[in-house]
Structure 1
């Protein structure tokens, strides 16, 4: 039986609950409904991922344990623009030791590019680049659609937010220029090794030349389960099992608002009217303007096709998902937004108060002769059959996976599933159907108001 939590007590438990850190493997929590995850919404989320998305791997982690997983979690996938958020993490140690100075300008660093850099643009600082506020409006793949790209030189650096790959690729060049280190070697030393990545492949990492810029794109290939480790590090403010890999100061700097959601909405049409308002920090997206405690202080890395790391600090949860580009499948921006919202929306410590349970339904009494009429095996098309059996505890349906579900007789040949939580006041029912001689020959499972499955009796 699920323990009932008040919202107050569950939040207290989060603040006092020590985190679990994965070693070689993630731990799976087998009792997610007991810790606040709505089983009906979880099923709906799974149906959404399977039926409406092209996602190839997805994990939801709470307090270091898997509460949901889907797809191929080991497969390496190009994580698209999430690379920018990851590189932002690597800046921290070099900003703090003075190797990289955030107030240095691209003019100071003698950064040039194809077609030249305007004098006003040379005033853009490293901080401006990290914030996507350089005001260098070179059209090198504007990855967030903009109907009206500003004219070159029309804004002072720092005064205008534009999600433009020029900024991100250029600060990749600056990172290697100042540190004398390869980006991928730094991913390995700062993240892959200390976080014990399960699928890291240094040989799979390589840059891609940009024909319109001197700075290449530093794409990254990661698995879903390693992606989740990065998110879990960010959830713990840079601390991994007692070791501070990225300083709390730098995590806070990355997640400090550099662009308010109102400016993002003005510049990005598809964020207008979305379920969540989104601002921007140092290459991390920030959830803003929400009263829902599950989304307060949340932040995420986002990549095209359908890649993302989302951190929900108030519920100690991380979402990681990838869509492998090898299959040439793309999730729309709307689908990506829905994934981020729906994942946290599953969590509700008082979920069972929203549903009626079938346990309170009064059962009618059946004689042993009546029970015997229902017993046997029933099959849907060519799927493995289910078995209706009688025990001292009552009538059960045995599923192909060996699980037993008790049935409650309620009227005539109709039964409901015991222990079921009912959404929309429509319980799952089993109706036995008789032939013209009065013999039971079919089982009809009512899934919902619009769906029923018919199983023929075979024994």
Structure 2
């Protein structure tokens, strides 16, 4: 197994150190019964069992994933590994928050055109300018706020790519920006009066029958250089697949609307070009878009992937357990993760083959 250059290791560890301390306090989350969720969903109709066998062998011999789950039309197509273990979702958290925004907007808690000034949002550590306060909720969801400040949870690439402050007006320029993402969490909790964990549980987890997620599986990290803390979501592969199935089925679970269908369509539209992020070519409202494949992805550091294929009503989840302590996280970061996205794409091809009639 290839070792990363020490410089990359040190950079990564410094970016995640405070999060690792927070994570260390979490329980191990072991369910006591591996893949207990397997009996809670009916099996999918499989056209090509050989494709599932190939996927299983690939997971065992060619990847470092700890869990993989695929659902087709709300039925279990494949489950492998620690599918019931709640794992840090890392940046997959952003797509989960996008869904909560769609529900909150439909409930009348907030609007896309509300500005930070209107919402009373500032940053006590580095105060916003009047121009920066004109950024809207929609700008933040598109990661186009034009606010270029340090934020909790940033990796070095984010810092290196940050534009100069004041170089772009709100709405003009896409930059993958943790300040935007963290502030969206703050706005959501202030406007709804709910914690992100409570909202996820009440609005999504319970209606879809998630088996392990609890409100306390959302924790927070406070940075020194920003007033606004980062929210961190732990969720199992099995539960994340149920969430993905909502987006694969127009916001419905077993025919019941959970997320507004119009929001599912709007939030996964190709709003911003995203160069140098293969296979992604665009960004939506906290979703990565692969226009060529017609898929939407939630993509998190360390090998956290949710792929939604609405045309085939497929939801695929691949996960890596990045740990719950400083030691676990540091050890995990020593090893190279090259190829994870391409591995997940290959698994997608096998899942298509498993459910699609030949020809």
TM-score, normalised relative to structure 1: 0.63
TM-fit CA distance, 1:89? 0.6
Query: Please, which of 255, 262, 286 is the counterpart of residue 289 of structure 2?
Result: 286
Q: Is residue 341 from structure 1 mapped to residue 354 from structure 2 by the alignment?
A: no
Asked whether the 8 Å contact 2:196–2:218 carries over to 1, the reply is no
Alpha-carbon distance in 1 for matches of 2:315, 2:231? 25
Report what 1:53 is aligned to.
Answer: 63
Report what 2:147 is aligned to.
Answer: 136
Alpha-carbon distance in 1 for matches of 2:206, 2:39? 12
1:10-409 alignment, distance < 5 Å: 25-29=40-44, 32=46, 35-36=47-48, 39=50, 42-113=52-123, 114-140=125-151, 141-143=153-155, 145=157, 147-260=160-273, 264-265=274-275, 269=276, 271=277, 274=278, 276-288=279-291, 290=292, 295-296=293-294, 298-326=295-323, 327-328=328-329, 329=332, 334-346=338-350, 347-348=352-353, 349=356
TM-fit CA distance, 1:143? 4.5
Alpha-carbon distance in 2 for matches of 1:247, 1:148? 34
Alpha-carbon distance in 1 for matches of 2:67, 2:318? 6
| C-alpha RMSD of the superposition | 2.4
Alpha-carbon distance in 2 for matches of 1:122, 1:259? 21
Greater per-residue helix proportion: 2
Aligned-partner SS, 1:278: strand
TM-fit CA distance, 1:248? 0.8
Alpha-carbon distance in 2 for matches of 1:105, 1:60? 39
Report the count of equivalent residues.
Answer: 310
TM-fit CA distance, 1:171? 0.7
Asked whether the 8 Å contact 1:64–1:232 carries over to 2, the reply is yes
Aligned-partner SS, 2:78: strand
Asked whether the 8 Å contact 2:38–2:79 carries over to 1, the reply is no
Question: Aligned in 2, Cα 1:219/1:245: closer, same or farther, shift over 3 Å?
Answer: same
Question: Aligned in 2, Cα 1:333/1:103: closer, same or farther, shift over 3 Å?
Answer: farther
Alpha-carbon distance in 2 for matches of 1:255, 1:97? 20
Runs of 4+ in 1 over 6 A off after TM superposition: none
Alpha-carbon distance in 2 for matches of 1:135, 1:64? 39
Unaligned runs of 5+ in 2: 1-36
Greater per-residue strand proportion: 1
Alpha-carbon distance in 1 for matches of 2:93, 2:83? 18
TM-fit CA distance, 1:216? 1.3
Aligned-partner SS, 2:111: coil
Question: Aligned in 2, Cα 1:125/1:189: closer, same or farther, shift over 3 Å?
Answer: same
1:204-241 Cα deviation digits (max 9, x unpaired): 33222222221111111111111110011111111111
Alpha-carbon distance in 1 for matches of 2:203, 2:259? 8
